[in-house]
């Protein structure tokens, strides 16, 4: 019995940044997030009104059925949280290292 594999979609910059780089404003590729189905995963983007998967510079067009599935998921998707990719932690200094060397006691000869 064959089951229908489902797409998993996550939106936002932190998701698509795992798979590709930011494009110039005049590029027709609109990066949205990431998509995954089984072993197929990558940055989810829209190109000329259709969804595509992007990994690096490689653009993979999706089938008509996959486009319908992803469009349905996008209609129900939560708004994108605009959290930055990296937030530096506050600098903390470590306490100084203390080395304790025990004295050796040599017994006096009798």
Per-residue pLDDT of the chain (110 residues; tens, 9 = 90+): 455 668 888 888 888 899 999 888 888 999 998 999 988 899 999 999 899 999 988 999 999 999 999 888 888 877 666 655 566 777 788 889 999 988 888 888 87
Contacts of 42 (CB under 8 A, 6+ apart): 19, 20, 34, 35, 53, 54, 55, 60
The dihedral formed by the CA atoms of 55, 52, 42 and 9, expressed in degrees to the nearest 10:
160
Query: Do the beta carbons of residue 45 and residue 57 sit within 8 Å?
Result: no
pTM > 0.85: yes or no: no
CA dist 14 and 52 (Å) reads 18
Contacts of 40 (CB under 8 A, 6+ apart): 53
CA dist 69 and 5 (Å) reads 11
CA dist 33 and 91 (Å) reads 32
């Amino acid at each position: 019995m064959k089951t229908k594999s489902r797409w998993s979609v996550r939106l936002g910059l932190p998701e698509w940044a795992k798979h590709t780089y930011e494009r110039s404003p005049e590029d027709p590729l609109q990066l949205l997030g990431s998509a995954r189905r089984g072993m197929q995963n990558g940055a989810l983007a829209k190109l000329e009104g259709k969804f595509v998967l992007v990994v690096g510079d490689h653009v993979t067009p999706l089938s008509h059925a996959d486009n319908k599935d992803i469009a349905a998921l996008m209609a129900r998707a939560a708004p994108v949280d605009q959290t930055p990719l990296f937030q530096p932690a506050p600098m903390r200094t470590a306490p100084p290292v203390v080395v304790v060397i025990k004295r050796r006691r040599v017994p006096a000869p009798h």
